[in-house]
C-alpha cells in the first residue's frame, strides 16, 4: 500500500469529507497544473473545533493543532478535484492567525499546517519512491489578523502543483 492516502493512514490521520464553502466559491479550483485551495477553517464534522483569539482564549499548542486540521481539510479539498498522488509539491501556504493583542508567535501556530503537509507528503514518498523529497516543503507567509470567519482562530490557504501529466478526477 503506497501513496498519500496510505501515508495519511500510517500517520493516524483520516481524510475528512471536503468542507462545503461557507459561501459562493469552491473548496478548490484547478488551473493548468495547479490547484488553488480556498482558505480552510479548522472544521471537524461540520463545526469549528474552536473559536477565539490565539494568545487569549486559545493557546499556541491548541492553535498548532487547529492549523493541522486546516491543512488536513486542505488536503481533502485537493482530493475533491485531483488525485493526491499526482501532487508534485505544495508550493505556497498562507496562514492567518486571529491574534490577541501582543501575540507574535504566528509561525509556531502555522507550523501545524506546514509540518502536517511535510509529514504526509514525505511519508508518501518513502513508501512510493516516485515522489520528490521536496513535495511537502513550501514557501509560506504567516500573519496575525484581527478576526476570522465564524470566529475561527486559524485559517490556511494553499497552492499545490500537480505533475504535468496529472488527469482531472471525473466527478
The contact set with a second copy (CB under 8 A) reads: 21-29, 31-34, 36-39, 89, 91-94, 96-99, 101-108, 110-111, 114-115, 118, 137-151, 155, 157, 159, 161
Question: Would you say 1 or 31 has its CB closer to a second copy?
Answer: 31
For residue 85, which of 54, 124, 58, 56 has the smallest C-alpha distance? 124
User: Rounded distance, CA 8 to CA 123, Å?
Assistant: 8
43-44 and 47-48 beta bridge pairing: antiparallel
CB of 125 to a second copy, least distance (A): 16
The Cα angle at residue 100 between residues 94 and 105, in degrees rounded to 5: 50
Question: Would you say 1 or 146 has its CB closer to a second copy?
Answer: 146
For residue 78, which of 1, 5, 145 has the smallest C-alpha distance? 5
CB of 1 to a second copy, least distance (A): 26
Q: Which three cell numbers stand for residue 118?
A: 511535510
Question: Would you say 33 or 128 has its CB closer to a second copy?
Answer: 33
CB of 50 to a second copy, least distance (A): 13
For residue 147, which of 135, 155, 156 has the smallest C-alpha distance? 155
Question: Would you say 8 or 35 has its CB closer to a second copy?
Answer: 35
CB of 95 to a second copy, least distance (A): 9
Amino acid at each position: 500500500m503506497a501513496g498519500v492516502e496510505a501515508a495519511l493512514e500510517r500517520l493516524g490521520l483520516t481524510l475528512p469529507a471536503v468542507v462545503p464553502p461557507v459561501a459562493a466559491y469552491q473548496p478548490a479550483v484547478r488551473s493548468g497544473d495547479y490547484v488553488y485551495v480556498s482558505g480552510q477553517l479548522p472544521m471537524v464534522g461540520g463545526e469549528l473545533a474552536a473559536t477565539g483569539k490565539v494568545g487569549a482564549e486559545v493557546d499556541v499548542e491548541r492553535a498548532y493543532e487547529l492549523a493541522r486540521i486546516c491543512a488536513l481539510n486542505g488536503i481533502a479539498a485537493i482530493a475533491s478535484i485531483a488525485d493526491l498522488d499526482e501532487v508534485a509539491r505544495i508550493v505556497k501556504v498562507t496562514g492567518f492567525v486571529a491574534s490577541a493583542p501582543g501575540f507574535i508567535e504566528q509561525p509556531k501556530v502555522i507550523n501545524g499546517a506546514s509540518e502536517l503537509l511535510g509529514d504526509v507528503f514525505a511519508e508518501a514518498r518513502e513508501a512510493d519512491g516516485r515522489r520528490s523529497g521536496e513535495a511537502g516543503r513550501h514557501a509560506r507567509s504567516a500573519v496575525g489578523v484581527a478576526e476570522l470567519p465564524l470566529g475561527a482562530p486559524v485559517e490556511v490557504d494553499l497552492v499545490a502543483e500537480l505533475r504535468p501529466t496529472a488527469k482531472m478526477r471525473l466527478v
